[in-house]
Structure 1
Amino acid sequence: MLPHKSVVAVLRRNSRIFMANHCTSVLPNIRLLREVGVPQSCISMLFRHFTRLVILKHESFSQLVGEVKEMGFNMKKLTSLKAMNALWCRNTFNRNRQVYMMRWGWSEDDFLSAFRKCPRSMVVSEKKLMQVMDFWVNKMGWPSVIIAKYAIVCSYSLQKRIIPRCSVLKVLLSKGLINENLSKPCVLAYAEEQFLEMFVTKFVNQIPQLLSVYQENVDLQDVTS
């Protein structure tokens, strides 16, 4: 099922899988995944990245599968396994659900929509959740319900990705070098090299300080003024 290197990686991450009762947990769990249409590639990913789920008691595992299916996840996609992992972290999931809905005005539909798009955004720490939402809503001026449509922005690092990239975009917008309708969530999703090439290197001759803005080594007002 897994190549040798992957087996070693699984062992290092969670050796309990090799001590689990395969007949009553692991094998029935894998069989259930196959029955509901989870492809082998995703099952292999489950072993590598969500090992703790594989060794759950079959009753608990079946409950997670049932919940994910009921929420409308496509069981043929890896997102369904990420959703199972998020639901397994029940306390964090429920706490963040309350924060999104009570503190930021999301409806139940907003929450479920965001969860389907990015399960990982539901199991970040409450501190990070509040900081990221505060940035988008109070500093960037986004309505909080818009973030539900781009839930992945809640999973990115505020200091390492969101603020540096948004600072670069703010400078480029102030100089009229990019379209104001550019989708910020899409830009945040770019790989590091791709972002640098498209939004820093491309404009560095026109704005020599742009790389310093990205590295947060210069006051933004000195560049946009």
Structure 2
Amino acid sequence: MPQSCIALLLAHNTHVLICKHEQFGALVDEVKEMGFDPKKSTFVTAMRALCGKSSRSIWNRNREIYRRSWGWSEDDLVSAFRKNPQCMILSEKKIMQVMDFLVNKMGWSSRLIATCPVVLCFSLEKRIIPRCLVVKVLLMKGLVDEDLSLAYVLLPAENKFLERFVTRYTDQVPQLSSVYDGKLDIKDV
């Protein structure tokens, strides 16, 4: 394990380090068996998600939420966890709000979100909603393709998003900046 991962454990995940030696060894083995590389920070996050009774119960609760409420398969769950272990230790409220918005309001497939689980960790109010509303306006105006990927919309840094979706279309839709800033409802565009 590289020094950066050890530092991450020491700084933010000390509860992982204070478990009994046997438990720690079993946890390391379990995380390795799930396909995590001990040289990457996701290994530490996976250990955090699976360490201790409360973390394990949160992990199991979220597993059931993704399955029952959103139709994720076991493969979806494992894949999402491998890509972003943090998605399995979010609050139930956070999961439900983000999934509801992306699936029911934006129309993205629940299983598509499993392929890019980092979006579940983004702020709904500061990142997801403003960006999605801009995209919705552009879709309504026929300026972008309906097949925009979730990653293309939500992953880029803010300046890249603004360049791709706001600045680029300012001539056709001058109100986009106001929609993005939450000052204008999309119905008023």
**TM-score using structure 1 length:** 0.75
Q: 1:107 aligns with which of 57, 69, 73?
A: 73
1:141 — aligned with what? Answer: 107
The answer to which of 107-116 and 144-153 deviates more is 144-153
2:18 — aligned with what? Answer: 55
Partner amino acid, structure 1, of 2:40: K
The answer to which of 66-75 and 171-180 deviates more is 171-180
Q: How far apart in 2 are the matches of 1:179 and 1:136?
A: 17
1:68-147 → structure 2 map (5 Å cutoff): 68-88=31-51, 89-147=55-113
**Quick check: 2:139–2:145 contact (8 Å CA) kept in 1?**
yes
1:162 — aligned with what? Answer: 128
1:196 — aligned with what? Answer: 162
Partner amino acid, structure 2, of 1:172: L
Alpha-carbon deviations, 1:63-118, whole Å to 9, x = none?
A: 22111111111222111111111112112111101111122222211111111111
What is the number of residues matched between the two proteins? 186
Pairwise CA RMSD? 1.8
Identical residues among aligned pairs (%): 59
Task: Say if 2:143 is the partner of 1:182.
Answer: no
Alpha-carbon deviations, 1:161-209, whole Å to 9, x = none?
A: 1111001111223333334333222321122233223322333343221
Q: How far apart in 1 are the matches of 2:23 and 2:94?
A: 29
Unaligned runs of 5+ in 2: none
1:150 — aligned with what? Answer: 116
Unaligned runs of 5+ in 1: 1-37
Q: 2:30 aligns with which of 67, 74, 80?
A: 67
Q: Which has the higher contact order (CA 8 A, sep 6+)?
A: 2
